[in-house]
Amino acid sequence: MAVLTEEQTLLRDAARTWTQEQSPVTRFRALRDSGAPLRFDPAVYAEMAAMGWTGVIIPEEYGGSGFGYLGMGLILEQTGRTLTASPLLASALAAASAVMLGGTGAQKQSRLAPIASGQSIATLAIDEGAHHRPNHVALSAVHNGAGYRLTGAKTFVLEGMAANLLVVSARTSGAVGETAGISLFLVDSDARGVTRTALKLADSRGAANIAFDNVEVGADGLLGPEGQGWDVLEKTLDRARAGLAAEMLGAASQAFETTLDYLKTRVQFGQVIGAFQGLQHRAAKMFTDLELARSCVEAALEAIDSDADNTPDLVSLAKAKVGDTLHLVTNEMVQMHGGIGMTDAHDAGLYLKRARAAEATFGGGAYHRDRYARMQGY
């Protein structure tokens, strides 16, 4: 665990207590079984807002506490442990970061406070296919009087059905694949021409595909300079990736601990199966990976807070490392539990499904290894 300030320690402990007592995995399971369309419980999100979690990264002048990304990561790690479903990552971290990084004073003023209070749910609408490739933007934005008209489609938008505000990447010039010519827009999800289709994913979390058909956006909807949205987008995505990595670290830690408990209680051949070296060594390797992953995630969050130059490297490192670790641990969770791990009644499947969805979101291991190598110049 990173060396925390007293305030950070309090925040983490409060998040741990709340998630363990108020939002255990059984609550996520009940939510899944209920088929609730938003895929999270608005009352739960309201509780999070009441505890101040939705304003953790937002500056005080815009209604938040300016507590930083490490602080947000500490919360997300705890929500990850219990698979707590909420728009905290999509709205209070990812979309809020985009507005903080690219917004004018007026945009921050109008958009951030409602996000911080939990009344507004915002999200990033970035990807246009099955894979995260943020430079592959085909959705077009053409001038329309003083404003713009957006046409195209976005895929796998987190909390896309719940969101009232979309941060959309669009192409104002250049060809698909180029980073120049990308612009960011703030689009209200109830604007004419926006069509949302709910996705039912294996992890039972909220996501949507969103079509834009000549959606009119005013000049005040442009976020950052026209055609130069890439820098803000990359910085925003790095913050979202680091936050997601923290959630994944929590999920991996819990999946491991649950499995370790099982190794200490399941008896076969007259002894607990955790006495067998074949399983002990695999457990020790998982523990090793978890410790390495934790170092990467904490370093990435701290780098964001201190605006360090190597933040992108550390974020790609963290996302790839924690993704590989979560992948391994969730597979082992099923295998080491044996038959019971294959049943829907057991939590192993919930962690496995969430793991793969989180791995694919904002770039998987292959994406971030390639990005890391390019940043290192080979």
Check residue 296 for interaction with another protein (CB under 8 A): yes
Q: How far is the CB of 118 from another protein (least distance, A)?
A: 33
- Cβ atoms 99, 112 nearer than 8 A: yes
Q: Which of 143, 176, 264, 340 binds another protein (CB under 8 A)?
A: 264
Q: Which of 244, 293, 348, 360 binds another protein (CB under 8 A)?
A: 293
H helical segments located in the chain: 6-22, 25-34, 42-50, 69-81, 96-102, 105-117, 230-265, 277-305, 311-337, 348-360, 365-375
Check residue 146 for interaction with another protein (CB under 8 A): no
Check residue 6 for interaction with another protein (CB under 8 A): no
Q: Taking phi first (over 0 means left), then psi (-120 to 50 degrees means alpha), and beta for anything else, what does residue 127 get?
A: beta
Residue 345, amino acid: A
R_g (Cα) of the chain, nearest Å = 21
Q: How far apart are CA 271 and CA 33, in angstroms?
A: 36
132/353 with CB nearer another protein: 132
The DSSP secondary structure of 30-56, one letter per residue, reads: HHHHHT-TTSS-HHHHHHHHHTTGGGS
143/374 with CB nearer another protein: 374
Q: Which of 274, 312, 323, 364 binds another protein (CB under 8 A)?
A: 274
Can you read off the two tokens belonging to residue 36?
């609730």
Q: Which of 26, 280, 306, 343 binds another protein (CB under 8 A)?
A: 280
Q: How far is the CB of 172 from another protein (least distance, A)?
A: 25
- Residue 322: CB atoms within 10 A of its CB come to 33
Q: How far is the CB of 93 from another protein (least distance, A)?
A: 22
Site string for another protein, 54-83 (x = CB under 8 A): ------------------------------
Tracing tokens 């741990």 back to the chain, one arrives at 16
Window 328 to 367, contacts with another protein (CB under 8 A): 366
CA-to-CA separations, 359 to 91, 298, 363, in angstroms, rounded: 19, 18, 7
DSSP state, 147? Answer: E
Check residue 131 for interaction with another protein (CB under 8 A): no
Q: How far is the CB of 301 from another protein (least distance, A)?
A: 12
Site size for another protein, by CB under 8 A? Answer: 42
Q: Which of 3, 106, 130, 146 binds another protein (CB under 8 A)?
A: 3
Q: How far is the CB of 378 from another protein (least distance, A)?
A: 4
Which candidate, 172, 181, 167, 182, places its Cα nearest to that of 221? 167
The DSSP secondary structure of 154-195, one letter per residue, reads: EEEEETTTT-SEEEEEEESSS-TT-STTEEEEEEETTSTTEE
CA-to-CA separations, 115 to 74, 82, 88, 97, in angstroms, rounded: 19, 23, 10, 11
Window 202 to 261, contacts with another protein (CB under 8 A): 260
Q: Which of 14, 153, 180, 283 binds another protein (CB under 8 A)?
A: 283
Give 217's strand partners: 148
104/271 with CB nearer another protein: 271
CB burial string 89-119: b at 16+ within 10 A, e below:
bbbbbbbbbbbbbbbeeebbebbbbbbbbbe
Q: How far apart are CA 195 and CA 185, in angstroms?
A: 17
Query: Which listed range, 33-41, 122-130, 272-280, 328-336, lies at the site for another protein (CB under 8 A)?
Result: 272-280
Q: How far is the CB of 59 from another protein (least distance, A)?
A: 24
Query: Which listed range, 57-65, 235-243, 312-320, 342-350, lies at the site for another protein (CB under 8 A)?
Result: 312-320
Query: Which listed range, 98-106, 181-189, 267-275, 334-342, lies at the site for another protein (CB under 8 A)?
Result: 267-275
Check residue 298 for interaction with another protein (CB under 8 A): yes
Check residue 372 for interaction with another protein (CB under 8 A): yes
Q: How far is the CB of 254 from another protein (least distance, A)?
A: 15
Residues 6+ apart with CB under 8 A from 335: 341
Check residue 268 for interaction with another protein (CB under 8 A): no
Give me the residues that bind another protein (CB under 8 A), please: 1-3, 260, 263-264, 270-272, 274-277, 279-281, 283-285, 287-288, 291-296, 298-299, 313, 317, 320-321, 366, 369-370, 372-374, 376-378
